[in-house]
Structure formats: structure tokens, C-alpha cells
Amino acid sequence: MAGLLDEDRLFPVEPSVRALARALYAEVRDLPIISPHGHTDPRWFAENERFPDPAQLLVVPDHYIFRMLVSQGVRLEDLGVAPSGGAAETDGRRIWRLFASNYHVFRGTPTRSWLDHTFATLFGFDEPLGEGTADAYYDRISACLADDSYRPRALYERFGLEVLATTEGALDDLRWHRMIAESGWRGRVITTYRPDSVTDPDFDGFAANLEELGKMTGCDTGSFAGYLDAHRHRRAFFRRHGATATDHGHPTAATADLTPAEAEALYRRVRGGAASAADAELFRAQMLTEMAKMSVEDSMVMQIHAGSRRNHSASIFARFGRDKGFDIPGRIDYVAALKPMLDAVGLEPGLTVILFTLDETAYSRELAPLAGVYPCLKLGPAWWFFDSPEGMRRFRELTTETAGFYNTVGFNDDTRAFPSIPARHDVARRVDCGYLATLVRTGRVREDEAAELARDLTYGLAKRAYRL
């Protein structure tokens, strides 16, 4: 191992398998990156301003980093994460020193792999980050960020991105995407329609959000029919700004297919604030089916991210809000949950529904068999807690024999941390090439097939699945 990165990292140990994995990887390592789902900020690419400092670039936006530090007793405020109505550390160097002094706690984690890749390939470091090197790291990264070649658009091009999808809520005005389009820049940054704020009765400000949805669209959200029309208007607006997909967070992935009268009565209860917990779950379920029906109409790819028990700490949620590292995986019953939706539209031509889960036990038992027969279903890659070398391998091992490769959609990074995108895609390429090499050496796939598969898993499947 030289410097921070081992050239053969993540490849199988057995020499002949490693050699083949290395050869397969050489064919795909430099392919363009398709990033069809993530949470980077479109404002970066619209304004193309310099990133403020190393902490704001690499620590403050990344919940993978601060959740681990919080687990060691570090306060969110000291990492630059401000509570509602309160203050947080704003000195980037102080945040960075705290991060660096605790860098050892990331040993063995995928976060450590992504960061070391970023430090080595983007900033030229060959010695590890730690308390003794914190200032040297901070100073070099700061100097780099002052150079125009480290502005967001330049990094987009340096990373080899062909397309980058962000994710915006249904009420977003998409001003940053509009500014990108009007700038004349050739980079392709598109949006994704995420309607949770107006489909989940438990979402903060749900009633007010419905009112705003009506004002934005000119639709009467006082009725369920008018409310659905408002969604159609917003979906069309998002498509005009490049969207090819929708995204839906759901704790259980439950779906329903109510009669129009039943749906109207349910909507009146949730809109009026009289909904029970069961009503809220039923409404979320109904809206997944309604969104699938709309995808049949407008051909937008539908993503369902299920199994996250969000905001597990009530006190952290009350003080800091969403997405602060306290989201925990939970069990999912996809077979029962999806049946109403699949009965309604599961065999409709042209529909694509990409399924993600934080319940790994569902991969071989439920998700692979479902995707292995329903033409509308595809399996999203290992996600969030399982976006790791071991998680990616398990995903392939648990799904390939039943769903194959062509009912999956390649890789997406699903990140808020922009510099981690090439690192995450590199991990996926290495893991997939190692898995394919194992299949070849165990006589299950020919070498020429493995080469074709490596290219599809790296590039082709994501591009086709997301209609990019």
C-alpha cells in the first residue's frame, strides 16, 4: 500500500480472481458517472461559487460523518450543525480540528474509504489525516478551494459526471435549476420530484403545504380530485426542468387502492387534521398507488425508498430537525405492501418502479422474487447503511440468482457530500468487478459476458432505467 490508497483495494484476495477483477475494472474505471439519485445542492452549480472552507465542504453536510462523531459524544453544535433558534460553531478550522482528532473512529467504515479517496485523488495527500496533520490538511484544501478549478462546475467536469440528479420537494420553485439552464453551462443537473411534504400527513406543516400546493398550481386542493390535479401540474413543471423520476420516502412501503369515494373521505380527514395514525398510513399508501398511476400517464420513473424509521431521537428532531443521523433501519413486508399497487398497475407497459430498502432481509426473500417477475419492478442498489463494500457484495449475492443483473439499475450514490461521488462510484465499480470475476472463475459467467456486465453495471443500466 502506497500512501492512502491501495491500488487493489476491495478486489478478491485469490490471485487469479484478483487479476481478472483488475482487468475488468480497468475497462470501466474511467467511464462517465451517471448519478441518477442524490441530494447535492443545485445552488452550487447555479451560482458556481467557491466552497467556503474544508469543513463546509466535507463535514457539515455529511450525516455519515457527524452521526459517527455524535456516537462518540461529540455535540452537533461543535460540528457546525445549528439547532433551531440556537448557535453552532462557525469557525471552519475548529470544526476541522475536531473532526481530524476523531478521524480514527472511522477506521473500517465506508466513510473512511470515501474520504481517503477524496483526500488522495482530489487534494494530493499521501499521509493520513489525524490530530497532527489537521492544520496541514486544512491549509492545503483551503488553498485548493480558492482556485477556480475547484468550483462546483469544474469539479463536476473533473469527476467525469455525465448527469447529476438532485432531489427537490413538491413545493420547490426550482429557481436554481432554472438558473443552471439559463447559464449556458453544458453540465447536466436535473431535478427529481419528491412529494413527501404533501403526501405524508405526518410531515411538518402538512395542512399549510396543501394550501401552498393549491396556490402554486391554481388547483382546488379542497377536493381529492383537485389535489391529484395539483400533483399532475407539479410533475409537469418538474419535467420541464429535466426531471425523469419521482422519489417517495415511506416507512413501510404500504400501498392501497381505494374507491374514489373512500379516497375522498380519507383525504377530507387528513386535510382537516382529524386523521388517526391508521388514516395517515392509509393515505401514504393510497398516494403511492396514485403516484404509480401518474407514472403510467407521464412515464416518470418512480423510486420508493422504504424502511427508514426517521428521526428516532425525538429530542434531536425537536432541536435540529430532519436528516441529522438519527434515522434507523426497520423491517419491511414488501410482498404484502406492494400488492394493491401491483394489482392496479403492476403490468402496465412502460411503468418503472425502483425499489430501495433498509431491510436487507427482504432482498432474497421478497424483493428479488418480485423484481424477477413483475416487468415494472427494478431493484435499486444497496442504500444508505448498506452503501458499503460488504453491503454491495451482499446485495449481489442475495439478488442475482433470482432477479439477475438486468432487473437492477446499476449504482447511485444518494449523497449530500459532492466530493464523495467519484469515490462512491469507484467503490461500486471495484466491488462489482470483483463479484463478476468470482462468477467467471467459478464457471457461472463467461469472461466476455463479465466484461459486458461490468460496463452495464457501471453505466448502461442506470442510464436506461432512469431514461437518461
pLDDT tens string 38-64: 999 999 999 999 999 999 999 998 888
Q: What's the CA gap between 280 and 285, in Å, rounded?
A: 9
Q: What's the CA gap between 409 and 379, in Å, rounded?
A: 6
The separation between the first and the last C-alpha atoms of the chain, rounded to the nearest angstrom, is 38
For the segment 439-443, the average pLDDT, to the nearest whole number, is 98
In degrees, to the nearest 5, what angle opens at C-alpha 239 toward C-alphas 233 and 240? Answer: 90
Q: Which residues contact 278 (CB under 8 A, 6 or more apart)?
A: none
Map out the domains of the chain with their CATH numbers: 15-50+170-465 (3.20.20.140), 51-150 (1.10.2020.10)
Q: What's the CA gap between 357 and 363, in Å, rounded?
A: 8
pLDDT score at 408:
98
pLDDT score at 61:
86
Rg (CA), the chain: 22
pLDDT score at 307:
92
pLDDT score at 15:
98
Closest CA to 421 of 131, 44, 104, 138: 44
- Whether residue 2 is predicted with pLDDT greater than 60 in this model: the reply is no
- Whether residue 294 is predicted with pLDDT greater than 70 in this model: the reply is yes
Are 291 and 248 in contact by the 8 Å Cβ rule? The answer is yes
Are 445 and 20 in contact by the 8 Å Cβ rule? The answer is no
Q: Which residue type sits at 388?
A: S
pLDDT score at 314:
94
pLDDT score at 323:
87
Are 378 and 355 in contact by the 8 Å Cβ rule? The answer is yes
What is the percent of the chain where pLDDT is above 70? Answer: 100
For the segment 416-434, the average pLDDT, to the nearest whole number, is 96
Q: What's the CA gap between 458 and 5, in Å, rounded?
A: 21
- Whether residue 1 is predicted with pLDDT greater than 70 in this model: the reply is no
- Taking only the tens place, the pLDDT of each residue in 365-377 is 999 999 999 999 9
Residue 274 burial (10 A CB sphere; 0-12, 13-18, 19+): exposed
For the segment 19-39, the average pLDDT, to the nearest whole number, is 98
Q: What's the CA gap between 181 and 189, in Å, rounded?
A: 9
Sign of the Cα pseudo-torsion (235, 240, 246, 248, in order): negative
Cell output for 158:
473533473
Q: What's the CA gap between 333 and 366, in Å, rounded?
A: 8
What is the percent of the chain where pLDDT is above 90? Answer: 96
For the segment 260-276, the average pLDDT, to the nearest whole number, is 95
For the segment 303-314, the average pLDDT, to the nearest whole number, is 94
Are 242 and 191 in contact by the 8 Å Cβ rule? The answer is yes
Closest CA to 377 of 397, 398, 357: 357
pLDDT score at 274:
87
> What is the bridge-based pairing of β-strands 308-309 and 328-329?
antiparallel
SS3 at position 222: coil
In degrees, to the nearest 5, what angle opens at C-alpha 281 toward C-alphas 216 and 202? Answer: 50
- Assign 3-state DSSP to the chain and report helix, strand, coil percentages, each to 5: 55, 10, 35
pLDDT score at 322:
87
Cell output for 223:
377536493
Are 441 and 16 in contact by the 8 Å Cβ rule? The answer is yes
Q: What's the CA gap between 340 and 73, in Å, rounded?
A: 45
Burial per residue of 167-205, b for 16 or more beta-carbon CB atoms within 10 angstroms, e otherwise: bbebbbebebbebbbeeebebebbbbbbbbbbbbbebee
In order of 19, 334, 395, 437, 462, the CA distances from 432 in angstroms are 14, 26, 10, 8, 14
Residue 172 sits at φ, ψ, to 5 deg, of -70, 140
Model confidence, pTM:
0.96
Residue 188 sits at φ, ψ, to 5 deg, of -105, 100
In order of 102, 114, 133, 256, the CA distances from 126 in angstroms are 19, 15, 11, 54
Q: What's the CA gap between 275 and 277, in Å, rounded?
A: 7
Task: Please provide the average confidence, as pLDDT, over all residues in the chain.
Answer: 96
For the segment 85-110, the average pLDDT, to the nearest whole number, is 96
pLDDT score at 3:
83
Cell output for 127:
499521509
Sign of the Cα pseudo-torsion (37, 170, 176, 96, in order): negative
pLDDT score at 50:
97
With cut-offs at 50, 70 and 90, classify the pLDDT of residue 319: very high
- Total residue length of the chain: 468
Are 409 and 466 in contact by the 8 Å Cβ rule? The answer is yes
For residue 246, list its beta bridge partners.
193, 302
Cell output for 136:
496541514
- Whether residue 208 is predicted with pLDDT greater than 70 in this model: the reply is yes
Q: Which residue type sits at 37?
A: H
